[in-house]
Each structure stands twice: as structure tokens, then as C-alpha cells.
A and B are shown apart, each in its own frame.
Chain A
Amino acid sequence: GEDVEQSLFLSVREGDSSVINCTYTDSSSTYLYWYKQEPGAGLQLLTYIFSNMDMKQDQRLTVLLNKKDKHLSLRIADTQTGDSAIYFCAERGSGGYNKLIFGAGTRLAVHP
């Protein structure tokens, strides 16, 4: 079945890089997404990667995709306190209605 797994918590020092990891099971997924959720708010799309890509960079964000291992990572360079949030990995399932399969989310805590 379809499943997405993430570690639940990550703590980093301000200015360091953060790496949030995700594994998924649906090998037919065409798009994989990273969303950010701040407390009490909805989800904000950060970035996405198409399955035929290995890497995508967008300013401080770098997404790496290892399709063979079904592993996705999000690297945030120069992590700031404003980056503290929950980060969700999601894959678009093989159904045609954009059903997104979400992981449980990784809570990123940035400390001085």
C-alpha cells in the first residue's frame, strides 16, 4: 500500500544546515512534495520534485530524490529560527485525482 514515513523530530542550531528525511512506498509516484506548517496554520507548499529528477535547488532549499531507495530529503541551508515548524513530505498517489499521501511530519526546532 501507499505509505510515507518521516522521523518526528529534529533539533538544529541556528546557522547550521537541517536535513529532513522521508521514505515512501509508491514507486509510481510522479510528484513528491515538501510542505511547511507553522503552529495553528494551514500547510504551505515549499517545493516539489518530479520523479525523473535527482535534485532540485531553490534558494536555501535543496531536495534530493533517490528513486531506487524511495528516499526523499529536504536540506535547509543556514537554518533560521523562522524555519521552526512541522515539515510534511507527501507523494502524489497513483490515483488520478491528486490524492496526496502525507507523512506524519517532522517537527524542526531551531535553537540559538
Chain B
Amino acid sequence: DGGITQSPKYLFRKEGQNVTLSCEQNLNHDAMYWYRQDPGQGLRLIYYSQIVNDFQKGDIAEGYSVSREKKESFPLTVTSAQKNPTAFYLCASSVFVSGTPTEAFFGQGTRLTVV
């Protein structure tokens, strides 16, 4: 079945460490996104990518990095520069039809906790 897979589901990080969250999709979607969710808040966009080898900063990119070497994969690295990384991270993808983006499909999320 087609879908978006995020791994791991739960991740623990020590302060000062970098960690990488995986996001893979087999929907053949061009665009991929990373969102952060905090309790009582909506989703905030971290990074997005419209095509392979291209990505743009979202609203809260500081302390994060991404790569888009393959269409199917959009990993997110949470660096030690991110001061408050504990959150629920959601990956999404969408496809452009005649230049118009469709709705976004989401993965099941990764909960990152700093210990």
C-alpha cells in the first residue's frame, strides 16, 4: 500500500546530540514537508522540498537541517543548536497536478524527547 512512513516512532536524545528522523514515501509525490507539533498549538512548518535536491526553510528552520537526495526520502536532522527540540514531528507529502498542489498526506509522526 502507498503511504508515508516515519521512523522511529519514539526517539530519545541527550542534550548536545544530533539526531535524524526518517521520512519515506512511496506515493510518487513531488513535494515533502516537515512540521513540528507542540501541545495546544497548530503545526508549524520547519522545512519543505518541492523537488529532489531542492529545499526551502519554513517558519521555524533554526536548529534543523534536511536533505532531499531521492524523491522518496526527506530526512530531518535535529541539531544541538535547536534549544527546545522535545516535540512531535510530522512529515507530509503532496503532488502537484497541473501546477496546483493537492492536499497533504501525513505520516504517523515521531515523538522526540530530550533527556
Complex Cα–Cα for A88 and B43 (A): 9
Which of these, B42, B50, B107, contacts A42 with CB under 8 Å? B107
The reply on A13 being an interface residue by CB < 8 A is no
Interface size of A by Cβ–Cβ distance < 8 Å? Answer: 25
- Chain B at the A interface: mostly helix, strand, loop or mixed? strand
- Across the interface, do B103 and A97 meet the contact criterion of CB distance under 8 Å? no
Which of these, B42, B43, B56, contacts A97 with CB under 8 Å? B56
Interface size of B by Cβ–Cβ distance < 8 Å? Answer: 28
Task: Bits for B45-58, please: 1 = Cβ < 8 Å to A, else 0.
Answer: 10010100000101
A68 to chain B, nearest CB (A): 24
**B residues lining the A interface (CB < 8 Å):** 4, 6, 31, 33, 35, 40-45, 48, 50, 56, 58, 90, 92, 94, 101-109, 111
- The 10 listed contacts between A and B (C-beta, < 8 Å) are A33-B103, A42-B6, A42-B90, A42-B107, A43-B106, A97-B101, A98-B102, A99-B45, A101-B42, A104-B40
Closest 3 interchain pairs by CB?
A: A98-B101, A102-B42, A42-B106
